[in-house]
């Protein structure tokens, strides 16, 4: 997931339904006369059905396990102009650090019981937070029932995750490579009763299991402000990439923003909850680039199959600070239904 270039993508729009519905020509009898058709049960194909068929076709083109679409509420479809992309797109005025600023580790593939890097030698952990023993901790379990899942040390924090990269000498199965391999679970976009479209997983998820990244167009802060002003009153899909801004002295106006409204992946359809079952983490493959990185969703506890996947639209630190504040005029009412609901999405 570390390539933010011009990846192949899938866009819906002009071609809706053109190759999905086979209207076979009327057959001819031996005498050359056209045979009659029984149209008593004929039902015209609706625009909604054509749109839904086209949307499903694009879901099938995405990498990874199947993504399905379900709507038992009404005949609506997800946004028809939505564009599925495999990696974030760089917008106008956005630059990614050159690979010359990227450093890889010198760990051997057979290190650490043949699972790759070891914390005592891996340079990829030089920016990672220190654990209880004052030593850096690899983000993922490498054995046991939660193999490949995010460790509790990370789940209980807002620490950034630093994975190995393409310059590292460890192999692709190194225990410090997870998000970069992409989504490994099935997902389902479904229509909720009162919150528009949502996302769920048809299989159980383990605590700490990686789900998918949040993708979109990476834009400048100025462009984000302009889009937000034009979209007054609409849902916002903007996420500031400011995780390392303070530590690297990056001014607010120089922070990049991910906009997932018109392009991205299935995680765009995840709804908010004040008591979520997922959390978004920063995942970096290049500590020399504090402005461009991945945003990845992990389950923060075991999640049964077909339970809606949700995350808190506010970071944990922000949630604590705003809990007692009164909402601003025009604040969006929260419909998450959680026991400790804050009543409003944005305070």
Which residue is it, tokens 């979109």?
216
In terms of phi and psi (left: phi > 0; alpha: psi -120 to 50; beta: otherwise), the region of 8 is: beta
Residue 123's H or E segment, with its range, is: none
Q: Is the pLDDT of residue 157 over 50?
A: yes
As annotated, the active-site residues are: 214, 313
Tell me what pLDDT residue 324 has.
Answer: 56
Q: Residue 61: pLDDT above 70?
A: yes
DSSP string, 289-305: -SS--EEEEEESS-B-T
CB contact set of 182 (below 8 Å; sequence gap of 6+): 1, 63, 64
Q: Smallest Cα–Cα separation from 83: which of 294, 205, 263, 265? A: 263
Give every CB contact of residue 260 below 8 A, 6+ residues apart in sequence: 214, 215, 216, 217, 237, 239, 267, 268
User: pLDDT tens, 75-87?
Assistant: 888 887 889 999 9
What H or E segment, with its residue span, contains residue 347?
Answer: none
Distance CA(218)–CA(235), nearest Å, equals: 18
Which among 274, 309, 277, 299 is positioned nearest to 202, based on CA atoms? 309
| pLDDT at residue 238 greater than cutoff 90 | yes
Burial pattern 195-213, b for ≥16 Cβ within 10 A else e, equals bebbbbbeeebbbbbbbbb
* H helical segments located in 11-119: 47-60, 111-114
Q: Which of 18-22, 23-27, 203-207, 317-321 has the highest mean pLDDT?
A: 203-207
Q: How confident is the model at residue 332 (pLDDT cuts 50, 70, 90)?
A: confident
Q: Is the pLDDT of residue 11 over 70?
A: no
Closest-CA residue to 192 (of 276, 263, 269): 269
Mean pLDDT score across all residues of the chain: 84
CA distance 252 to 314: 18
| pLDDT digit string, tens, across residues 88-139 | 999 999 999 988 888 899 888 876 566 668 776 788 988 888 888 888 888 9
Lookup: tokens for 226: 């302009």
Q: Tokens 């630190």: give the residue.
A: 317
**Contact 267/188 with Cβ under 8 angstroms?**
no
Adjacency order of strands within the sheet including 197-200: 67-70, 187-191, 197-200
The residue among 340 and 217 whose pLDDT is bigger is 217
303 strand-pairing partners: 205
């Amino acid at each position: 997931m570390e390539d933010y270039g011009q990846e192949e993508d899938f866009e819906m729009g002009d071609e809706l339904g053109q190759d999905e519905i086979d209207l076979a020509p009327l057959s001819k009898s031996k005498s050359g006369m056209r045979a009659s058709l029984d149209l008593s049960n004929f039902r015209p194909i609706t625009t909604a059905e054509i749109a839904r068929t086209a949307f499903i076709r694009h879901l099938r083109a995405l990498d990874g396990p199947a993504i399905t679409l379900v709507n038992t509420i009404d005949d609506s479809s997800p946004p028809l102009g939505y564009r599925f992309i495999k990696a974030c797109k760089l917008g106008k005025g956005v630059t990614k650090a050159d690979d010359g600023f990227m450093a890889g580790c010198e760990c051997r593939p057979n290190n650490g019981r043949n699972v790759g890097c070891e914390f005592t030698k891996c340079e990829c952990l030089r920016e990672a937070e220190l654990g209880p023993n004052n030593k850096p901790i690899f983000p993922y379990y490498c054995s046991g029932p939660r193999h490949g899942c995010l460790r509790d040390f990370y789940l209980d924090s807002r620490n950034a995750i630093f994975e190995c990269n393409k310059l590292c000498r460890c192999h692709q199965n190194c225990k410090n490579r997870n998000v970069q391999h992409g989504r490994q679970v099935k997902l389902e976009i479904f229509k909720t009763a009162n919150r528009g479209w949502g996302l769920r997983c048809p299989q159980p998820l383990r605590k700490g299991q990686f789900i998918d990244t949040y993708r979109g167009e990476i834009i400048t802060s100025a462009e984000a402000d302009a889009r937000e002003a034009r979209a007054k009153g609409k849902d916002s899909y903007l996420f500031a990439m400011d995780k390392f801004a303070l530590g690297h002295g990056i001014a607010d106006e120089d922070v990049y923003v991910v906009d997932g409204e018109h392009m991205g992946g299935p995680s765009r359809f995840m709804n908010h909850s004040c008591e979520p079952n997922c959390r978004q983490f920063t995942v970096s493959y290049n500590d020399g680039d504090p402005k461009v990185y991945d945003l990845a969703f992990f389950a923060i506890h075991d999640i049964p199959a077909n339970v809606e996947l949700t995350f808190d639209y506010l970071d944990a630190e922000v949630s604590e600070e705003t809990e007692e504040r009164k909402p601003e005029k025009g604040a969006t009412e929260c419909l998450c239904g959680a026991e400790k609901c804050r009543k409003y999405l944005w305070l």
